[in-house]
Amino acid sequence: MSTTNSSPYVLVLYYSRSGATAQMAQLIGRGIEQVTGIEARLRTVPAVSTVTEATEPDIPDSGAIYCTEDDLRNCAGLVLGSPTRFGNMAAALKYFIDNTGALWLSGALIDKPAAAFTSTSTLHGGQESTLLSMLTPLLHHGMLFCGLPYSETGLSSTTSGGTPYGASHLAGPNSDRKIDATESELCVALGKRVATLAVKLLR
Ligand SMILES: Cc1cc2nc3c(=O)[nH]c(=O)nc-3n(C[C@H](O)[C@H](O)[C@H](O)COP(=O)(O)O)c2cc1C
Protein backbone atom coordinates (compact mmCIF):
# COMPACT_ATOMS: atom_id res chain seq x y z
CA MET A 1 0.00 0.00 0.00
CA SER A 2 1.09 3.58 -0.65
CA THR A 3 3.01 5.48 1.99
CA THR A 4 4.08 8.87 0.73
CA ASN A 5 5.55 8.30 -2.74
CA SER A 6 4.20 9.99 -5.83
CA SER A 7 2.37 7.05 -7.46
CA PRO A 8 -1.34 7.66 -8.02
CA TYR A 9 -3.42 6.49 -5.07
CA VAL A 10 -6.96 6.21 -3.85
CA LEU A 11 -7.26 7.63 -0.35
CA VAL A 12 -9.27 5.48 2.07
CA LEU A 13 -10.10 7.99 4.78
CA TYR A 14 -12.01 6.75 7.79
CA TYR A 15 -12.79 7.10 11.45
CA SER A 16 -13.25 4.02 13.62
CA ARG A 17 -13.61 3.71 17.36
CA SER A 18 -14.02 0.00 17.95
CA GLY A 19 -12.37 -1.30 14.78
CA ALA A 20 -15.14 -2.42 12.41
CA THR A 21 -14.81 0.52 10.02
CA ALA A 22 -11.02 0.12 10.15
CA GLN A 23 -11.36 -3.53 9.05
CA MET A 24 -13.61 -2.47 6.20
CA ALA A 25 -10.95 0.06 5.16
CA GLN A 26 -8.42 -2.78 4.86
CA LEU A 27 -10.76 -4.73 2.57
CA ILE A 28 -11.44 -1.67 0.44
CA GLY A 29 -7.69 -1.14 0.21
CA ARG A 30 -7.36 -4.73 -1.00
CA GLY A 31 -9.84 -4.01 -3.80
CA ILE A 32 -7.95 -0.86 -4.80
CA GLU A 33 -4.67 -2.76 -4.97
CA GLN A 34 -6.22 -5.25 -7.43
CA VAL A 35 -6.24 -2.50 -10.06
CA THR A 36 -3.07 -1.96 -12.05
CA GLY A 37 -1.56 1.51 -12.00
CA ILE A 38 -2.92 2.73 -8.68
CA GLU A 39 -2.32 2.15 -4.98
CA ALA A 40 -4.31 2.44 -1.76
CA ARG A 41 -3.42 4.97 0.93
CA LEU A 42 -5.18 4.39 4.27
CA ARG A 43 -5.54 7.35 6.62
CA THR A 44 -7.62 8.11 9.70
CA VAL A 45 -8.65 11.18 11.66
CA PRO A 46 -8.25 11.90 15.38
CA ALA A 47 -11.21 11.75 17.75
CA VAL A 48 -12.70 15.08 18.74
CA SER A 49 -13.15 16.19 22.31
CA THR A 50 -16.25 17.76 23.84
CA VAL A 51 -13.87 20.22 25.45
CA THR A 52 -11.60 22.12 23.10
CA GLU A 53 -8.29 20.66 24.15
CA ALA A 54 -5.97 18.16 22.46
CA THR A 55 -6.60 14.60 23.59
CA GLU A 56 -4.78 12.57 20.96
CA PRO A 57 -1.06 11.98 20.28
CA ASP A 58 0.31 13.26 16.94
CA ILE A 59 0.76 9.67 15.79
CA PRO A 60 -1.94 7.12 16.67
CA ASP A 61 -0.87 4.20 18.86
CA SER A 62 -1.94 1.72 16.19
CA GLY A 63 -3.43 1.52 12.71
CA ALA A 64 -3.37 4.12 9.96
CA ILE A 65 -1.74 7.50 10.52
CA TYR A 66 -3.71 10.74 10.47
CA CYS A 67 -4.67 12.25 7.15
CA THR A 68 -3.01 15.46 6.03
CA GLU A 69 -4.44 18.06 3.69
CA ASP A 70 -1.90 16.93 1.08
CA ASP A 71 -3.08 13.30 1.34
CA LEU A 72 -6.53 14.52 0.35
CA ARG A 73 -5.44 17.13 -2.20
CA ASN A 74 -3.29 14.73 -4.20
CA CYS A 75 -5.52 11.64 -4.23
CA ALA A 76 -6.82 10.25 -7.52
CA GLY A 77 -9.97 9.03 -5.78
CA LEU A 78 -11.46 8.87 -2.29
CA VAL A 79 -13.32 6.28 -0.24
CA LEU A 80 -14.72 7.78 2.93
CA GLY A 81 -15.72 5.62 5.91
CA SER A 82 -17.43 6.24 9.22
CA PRO A 83 -19.38 4.32 11.85
CA THR A 84 -22.98 5.40 12.09
CA ARG A 85 -23.63 8.01 14.74
CA PHE A 86 -27.40 8.44 15.05
CA GLY A 87 -27.76 7.79 11.32
CA ASN A 88 -25.04 10.27 10.43
CA MET A 89 -21.26 10.28 9.98
CA ALA A 90 -19.13 10.57 13.13
CA ALA A 91 -18.20 14.05 14.35
CA ALA A 92 -14.47 13.29 14.02
CA LEU A 93 -14.77 12.75 10.28
CA LYS A 94 -17.15 15.68 9.85
CA TYR A 95 -14.71 17.88 11.78
CA PHE A 96 -11.90 16.90 9.41
CA ILE A 97 -14.08 17.60 6.37
CA ASP A 98 -15.22 20.91 7.84
CA ASN A 99 -11.60 22.00 7.73
CA THR A 100 -11.20 21.41 3.98
CA GLY A 101 -12.38 24.87 2.91
CA ALA A 102 -9.07 25.71 1.25
CA LEU A 103 -9.23 22.53 -0.81
CA TRP A 104 -12.79 23.33 -1.82
CA LEU A 105 -11.71 26.80 -2.89
CA SER A 106 -8.87 25.40 -5.00
CA GLY A 107 -11.12 22.83 -6.68
CA ALA A 108 -8.53 20.12 -6.04
CA LEU A 109 -11.09 17.31 -5.77
CA ILE A 110 -13.25 18.22 -8.76
CA ASP A 111 -13.96 15.30 -11.15
CA LYS A 112 -12.32 12.70 -8.91
CA PRO A 113 -14.32 9.55 -8.06
CA ALA A 114 -15.50 8.98 -4.51
CA ALA A 115 -17.47 6.43 -2.50
CA ALA A 116 -18.47 5.74 1.09
CA PHE A 117 -18.66 2.91 3.63
CA THR A 118 -20.11 2.51 7.10
CA SER A 119 -20.64 0.17 10.01
CA THR A 120 -23.71 0.07 12.25
CA SER A 121 -24.75 -1.98 15.26
CA THR A 122 -28.30 -2.56 13.98
CA LEU A 123 -29.56 -3.60 10.57
CA HIS A 124 -31.95 -0.71 10.07
CA GLY A 125 -30.01 1.75 12.21
CA GLY A 126 -28.99 4.13 9.47
CA GLN A 127 -26.57 2.55 7.00
CA GLU A 128 -28.04 4.31 3.96
CA SER A 129 -28.54 7.65 5.72
CA THR A 130 -24.93 7.61 6.95
CA LEU A 131 -23.63 6.86 3.46
CA LEU A 132 -25.74 9.68 2.07
CA SER A 133 -24.49 12.04 4.79
CA MET A 134 -20.98 11.44 3.48
CA LEU A 135 -22.10 12.03 -0.10
CA THR A 136 -23.18 15.62 0.60
CA PRO A 137 -19.76 17.25 1.27
CA LEU A 138 -18.17 15.20 -1.51
CA LEU A 139 -20.64 16.66 -4.01
CA HIS A 140 -19.78 20.15 -2.75
CA HIS A 141 -16.18 19.33 -3.51
CA GLY A 142 -17.19 18.44 -7.08
CA MET A 143 -16.40 14.75 -6.72
CA LEU A 144 -18.08 12.01 -8.75
CA PHE A 145 -19.88 9.81 -6.23
CA CYS A 146 -20.25 6.15 -7.08
CA GLY A 147 -22.05 3.39 -5.24
CA LEU A 148 -22.28 -0.31 -5.99
CA PRO A 149 -24.17 -1.66 -9.02
CA TYR A 150 -26.59 -4.60 -8.72
CA SER A 151 -24.30 -6.61 -10.97
CA GLU A 152 -22.62 -7.23 -7.60
CA THR A 153 -24.86 -10.19 -6.75
CA GLY A 154 -24.19 -9.82 -3.03
CA LEU A 155 -26.39 -6.74 -3.04
CA SER A 156 -29.44 -8.90 -3.74
CA SER A 157 -28.53 -11.83 -1.49
CA THR A 158 -27.17 -10.05 1.60
CA THR A 159 -28.87 -10.55 4.95
CA SER A 160 -26.47 -8.10 6.64
CA GLY A 161 -24.58 -5.15 5.14
CA GLY A 162 -24.15 -4.06 1.53
CA THR A 163 -26.10 -1.31 -0.21
CA PRO A 164 -26.15 0.39 -3.61
CA TYR A 165 -25.15 3.59 -1.76
CA GLY A 166 -21.84 2.06 -0.71
CA ALA A 167 -20.36 -0.73 1.42
CA SER A 168 -21.75 -1.40 4.88
CA HIS A 169 -21.36 -3.80 7.78
CA LEU A 170 -23.69 -4.98 10.50
CA ALA A 171 -21.52 -5.08 13.63
CA GLY A 172 -24.26 -6.21 16.04
CA PRO A 173 -25.34 -4.86 19.42
CA ASN A 174 -21.92 -5.48 20.99
CA SER A 175 -20.00 -4.34 17.89
CA ASP A 176 -18.34 -7.73 17.70
CA ARG A 177 -19.99 -9.38 14.69
CA LYS A 178 -17.33 -10.30 12.13
CA ILE A 179 -17.45 -8.92 8.60
CA ASP A 180 -19.14 -11.73 6.66
CA ALA A 181 -18.25 -13.01 3.20
CA THR A 182 -20.82 -10.92 1.34
CA GLU A 183 -19.94 -7.70 3.19
CA SER A 184 -16.28 -8.40 2.53
CA GLU A 185 -16.85 -9.03 -1.21
CA LEU A 186 -18.73 -5.75 -1.48
CA CYS A 187 -15.97 -3.81 0.31
CA VAL A 188 -13.40 -5.21 -2.11
CA ALA A 189 -15.71 -4.47 -5.06
CA LEU A 190 -16.16 -0.86 -3.95
CA GLY A 191 -12.41 -0.31 -3.66
CA LYS A 192 -11.88 -1.89 -7.06
CA ARG A 193 -14.60 0.24 -8.64
CA VAL A 194 -13.24 3.55 -7.35
CA ALA A 195 -9.69 2.56 -8.33
CA THR A 196 -10.79 1.55 -11.85
CA LEU A 197 -12.61 4.85 -12.31
CA ALA A 198 -9.67 6.79 -10.87
CA VAL A 199 -7.27 5.23 -13.38
CA LYS A 200 -9.64 6.08 -16.24
CA LEU A 201 -9.96 9.66 -15.03
CA LEU A 202 -6.30 10.31 -14.22
CA ARG A 203 -5.19 13.65 -15.58
C1 LIG B 1 -22.90 7.82 19.90
C2 LIG B 1 -23.18 6.61 19.07
C3 LIG B 1 -24.24 6.60 18.20
C4 LIG B 1 -24.54 5.46 17.45
N5 LIG B 1 -25.60 5.48 16.61
C6 LIG B 1 -25.95 4.36 15.95
C7 LIG B 1 -27.09 4.35 15.11
O8 LIG B 1 -27.78 5.36 14.90
N9 LIG B 1 -27.42 3.17 14.52
C10 LIG B 1 -26.70 2.02 14.70
O11 LIG B 1 -27.08 0.98 14.16
N12 LIG B 1 -25.57 2.02 15.45
C13 LIG B 1 -25.19 3.16 16.08
N14 LIG B 1 -24.04 3.18 16.82
C15 LIG B 1 -23.17 1.98 16.83
C16 LIG B 1 -21.94 2.12 15.91
O17 LIG B 1 -22.22 2.77 14.70
C18 LIG B 1 -21.41 0.71 15.58
O19 LIG B 1 -21.06 0.07 16.79
C20 LIG B 1 -20.25 0.68 14.62
O21 LIG B 1 -20.10 -0.64 14.15
C22 LIG B 1 -18.93 1.13 15.26
O23 LIG B 1 -17.92 1.17 14.27
P24 LIG B 1 -16.37 1.14 14.66
O25 LIG B 1 -16.09 -0.26 15.21
O26 LIG B 1 -15.66 1.38 13.38
O27 LIG B 1 -16.14 2.20 15.67
C28 LIG B 1 -23.73 4.29 17.57
C29 LIG B 1 -22.62 4.32 18.44
C30 LIG B 1 -22.35 5.45 19.19
C31 LIG B 1 -21.17 5.44 20.13
Walking along the chain (203 residues) 10 residues at a time, the average pLDDT comes out as 74 97 98 98 91 68 91 98 98 97 98 98 97 98 98 98 98 96 98 98 85
What pLDDT score was predicted for residue 63? 86
CA angle (111, 117, 118) in 5-degree steps: 145
Domain extents for the chain?
9-201
Q: Which atom of ligand 1 is nearest to the CA of 19?
A: 25
What pLDDT score was predicted for residue 132? 98
Specify the CATH number for 9-201; select among 3.40.50.360, 3.40.50.920, 1.10.3720.10, 3.30.70.1450. Answer: 3.40.50.360
Which one of 12, 48, 84 would you pick to mutate in the ligand 1 pocket, going by the greatest count of ligand atoms within 8 A of its CB? 84
Let me know: does 42 contact 164? Beta carbons within 8 Å.
no
Cα(182) to centroid(ligand 1), Å: 20
In this structure, the residues whose C-beta lies within 6 A of any atom of ligand 1 are 16-22, 83-87, 119-122, 125-126, 171, 175
Cα(52) to centroid(ligand 1), Å: 23
What pLDDT score was predicted for residue 126? 97
Contact residues for 154 (Cβ-Cβ < 8 A; gap 6+) = 162, 182, 183, 185, 186, 189
